[in-house]
Structure 1
Amino acid sequence: MKSRIIALVAMMVMAFTGSAFAGSIQVKGSTTVLPLMQKSVETFMAANPNVSISISGGGSSNGAKALIDGTTDIAMMSRDMKPAEIQKATDNGRKPVQFIVALDCIVPVVNPANPVSGLSVEQLHGIYTGKITNWKEVGGADDQIVVISRDTSSGTYDCWKSKVMRATGLKSRVFPGALLQASNGAVAQAVSKNKKAIGYVGLAYLNKELKGVSVNGVTPSVKTAKDKSYPISRGLNIYTPGAPAGEAKGLIDYMMSPAGQNQAAEIGFIPVK
């Protein structure tokens, strides 16, 4: 049954793109966008077996750097490119073109054993600046809070910094005692193994070993991301160095097609169409 479904989807991709492709593509960047890209590439390559696509994560900043340096055809980014990054790429003859392929919520997560189910942006700010250090201060048990954050090369961190760390209007930083992780998966694993921990991940990384926490009384969901009532939502991007062509255009066209957007929803992201 699974093979029949893959074959059917592959036929839909071929019908959508109009012709088969041949060549190679390099894709680098965000670990948040990575699951969607992997699924899209799997389907696209099933329809285009002569295409070779290499994918690697490493964070949104690494994706931007690869686009600037000319070492990737597509950069995955869970944040917008910064003006300085756009200028550097343009100076190198690679004017970035942005495609928003899905929407996402950044979800604070705790261990399922933790009784806390909701926090405010102000409380999250206090926890991540080190001002709130015990779960009893936010309605939990009398236990130390173990703070887990993404590293600074992460687009997820940049969004968290913008919407939580600077929510008070101050340029606050994550306090030095926080444990930094290099990917959404690493954050999820660390929180799932420590009942005192708090972290944050993209919506697609929620699983039964994590407990998602509402923010300002709003639960992260497709609806609250689209109507912008959830305070920590964002767009998920891919960038190309100029207008995409050939295999890269075919892959992007598929990701933006109804079939590609359905895959985004199946993974746990929010379709833009």
Structure 2
Amino acid sequence: MKKEVKKMRILSVFAWMLVISMAIGGLVLMGSDAHGQDMIQVKGSDSEVNLVQRLAELFMQKKPGVKIAVTGGGSGTGIAALINKQTDIANSSRELNPKEAESAKAAGVQPFRVVFATDGISVITHPSNRVSKLTLEQIGKIFKGAITNWKEVGGTDTKISLYGRQSNSGTYVFFREFVVKADYSPHTKAMNGNAQIVEALKRDTGGIGYVAVGYVVNEKGEVMSGVKILNVAKDGQSEAYSPVKMENVMSGKYPISRPLNQYLNGKPSGKLLDFIQFEISKEGQEVVRKEGFFPVQKEWMEFNRKQGL
């Protein structure tokens, strides 16, 4: 009799453990399913992070059931996360490179590109610097270390100090390939983000750096106090233009403009599609402007349209 009672107790305990286990498992699955349905993960470009955070905030106000988490880390970080299926959207201020495209294919990821804004990369100095304009060639020579003193480009006899981004930055890659066209000088200080470069240039009278326009210009075209934005010319025979004026960037007169991208795994649908469509809508583009960036250029609007957006 005692053995039977003991056996019944053991079975009862086992049954309760099974019920508890199933309940916990059910909660985990429900939580996982809810997360998958409601949470949109966005990772990548530091140049884009503040802008996309603002777009996400407004979208969530319109769609209370949707949650969007936006983090930075650099374009390379965002693309790697997309390839590893750790994010829904990769913010990238540059295009995928061939190695990334190959890795994506091997992982079964189909990168789908969306252009949602335009940036005019701004070359900035301390306000006391008397140099007001440079050519692309001069900027390239400065950042690869061929020009090391401001007197070589019409300034005072002051050593040039260089501020740039880390190698996982899309801005670092774009600026190197489009402007420097060589390796950066080993004396370039690698900063974590645009904001760090801006703060450094406020203090360094001999410094020069490059940042996304939204970090130094507001929607009214007013330049942030404490820094100076240089006008840039394509070459020595061309007029130098400022990225402060939207028409200069949108028309291509300002020579260091670029599309700001987002990559997804395949053509978006559901809440992902809703968010992307919001970003490129009239309302979304007004937000882009308010954050100091510029709307999608015509050629990229057509690109998005051909993508079915």
TM-score normalised according to structure 1 size = 0.87
In structure 1, the residue matched to 2:228 is 211
Q: d(CA) in 2 for partners of 1:190 and 1:264?
A: 26
What residue identity is the alignment partner of 1:67?
L
Q: Structure 1 unaligned segments of length 5 or more: list them.
A: 1-21, 167-171
2: CA distance, partners of 1:120 / 1:31: 26
- 1:200 is aligned to 210
Pairing partner for 1:63 from 75, 78, 83: 78
Paired position in structure 1 for 2:180: 165
Residue 263 (structure 2) aligned to one of 239, 261, 271 = 239
Query: Does residue 269 of the first structure (1) align with residue 269 of the second (2)?
Result: no
Query: Which of 186, 200, 203 matches 1:176?
Result: 186
**1:232-273 superposed Cα distances (whole Å, 9 cap, x missing partner):** 110000111111122211111100110000110111111016
Superposition RMSD in Å = 1.2
1:105-184 maps to which residues of 2 (within 5 A)? 105-166=120-181, 172-184=182-194
1:49 CA displacement: 2.1
Q: CA deviation at 1:150?
A: 1.0
Q: Is the 8 A contact 1:24 1:247 kept in 2?
A: no
Q: Which amino acid aligns with 1:240?
A: L
Kindly indicate whether the alpha-carbon contact (under 8 Å) linking 1:40 and 1:255 is maintained by their aligned counterparts in 2. Answer: yes
* Shift, 1:78, TM fit: 0.3
Given residue 248 of structure 1, which amino acid in structure 2 is its aligned partner? Answer: L
* Match of residue 226 from structure 1: 250
How much does 1:202 deviate? 0.8
Aligned to 2:104: 89
Task: Give the deviation of 1:181 after TM superposition.
Answer: 0.8
- Give, in whole Å, the separation in 2 of the partners of 1:77 and 1:218: 25
Whether the 8 Å contact between 1:222 and 1:270 is mirrored in structure 2 is: yes
Whole-Å Cα distance in 2 between the matches of residues 147 and 164 of structure 1? 14
After TM superposition, the structure 1 = structure 2 runs for residues 13-28 of structure 1, keeping only pairs within 5 Å, are 23-28=38-43
Identify the structure with bigger relative contact order (alpha carbons < 8 Å, sequence gap 6+).
1
Residue among 79, 87, 90 paired with 1:75: 90
- From the CA coordinates, give the structure whose radius of gyration is larger: 2
Tell which deviates more after alignment, 27-36 or 78-87: 78-87
User: Where does residue 42 of structure 1 map in the other structure?
Assistant: 57
Map of 1:189 onto structure 2 = 199
Question: Percent sequence identity over matched residues?
Answer: 37
Residues of 2 paired with 1:138 and 1:130: CA distance? Answer: 13
After TM superposition, give the deviation of residue 83 of structure 1 in Å: 2.4
CA distance in 1, matches of 2:187, 2:99: 30
Q: 1-side partners of 2:281 and 2:144: how far apart?
A: 42
Q: Partner letter of residue 277 of structure 2?
A: D
Q: Distance in 2 between matches of 1:32 and 1:209?
A: 20
The alignment partner of 2:47 has SS state of coil
Letter in 2 for 1:262: E
| Residues paired across the two proteins, number | 247
Q: Which 5+ residue runs of structure 2 have no aligned equivalent?
A: 1-36, 217-223, 234-239, 302-309
Once the two structures are superposed, residues 31-74 of structure 1 have per-residue CA deviations (whole angstroms, 9 ceiling, x without a partner) of 11112101100101112222221111010011110010000000
Q: How many angstroms apart in 2 are the aligned matches of 1:126 and 1:243? A: 41
